[in-house]
């Protein structure tokens, strides 16, 4: 670099997203609801022909529809649980690193 140029100060920006109050109070709510929905649809798939006769009328196998939606809900629930665990670990590390670097010691002391 030339002596006339300067390098901008490197700052670390933390992106924080505002989460709904219900999700902040109960962080496990969404993954549990998704997995419970998947289990419920698996149970409903046993009786799908009698519960959804319109699908059978047009030739769509209602058991496969219920099971495929249950699979999607289950995978989404597991992924949401993994993401919430990773976010919790990340928040814990960020909170601890901010506490240690919030008040740096003076160089002369």
Q: How many CB atoms lie within 10 A of CB 22?
A: 10
Q: Residue 23 has what pLDDT?
A: 76
pLDDT, one tens digit per residue, over 43-71 is 999 998 888 888 888 888 999 999 999 99
Q: Which residues touch 40 (CB under 8 Å, ≥6 apart)?
A: 70
Percent of the chain with pLDDT over 90: 37
Model-level pTM?
0.67
CA distance 74 to 34: 6
CA distance 70 to 50: 18
CA distance 51 to 41: 12
Query: DSSP secondary-structure letter at 106?
Result: P
């Amino acid at each position: 670099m030339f002596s006339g140029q300067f390098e901008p100060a490197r700052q670390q920006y933390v992106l924080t997203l505002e989460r709904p109050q219900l999700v902040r109070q109960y962080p496990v709510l969404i993954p549990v609801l998704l997995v419970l929905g998947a289990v419920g649809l698996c149970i409903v798939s046993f009786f799908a022909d009698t519960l959804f006769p319109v699908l059978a009328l047009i030739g769509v196998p209602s058991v496969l529809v219920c099971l495929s939606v249950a699979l999607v809900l289950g995978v989404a629930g597991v992924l949401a649980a993994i993401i919430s665990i990773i976010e919790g670990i990340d928040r814990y590390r960020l909170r601890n690193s901010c506490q240690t670097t919030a008040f740096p010691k003076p160089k002369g002391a």
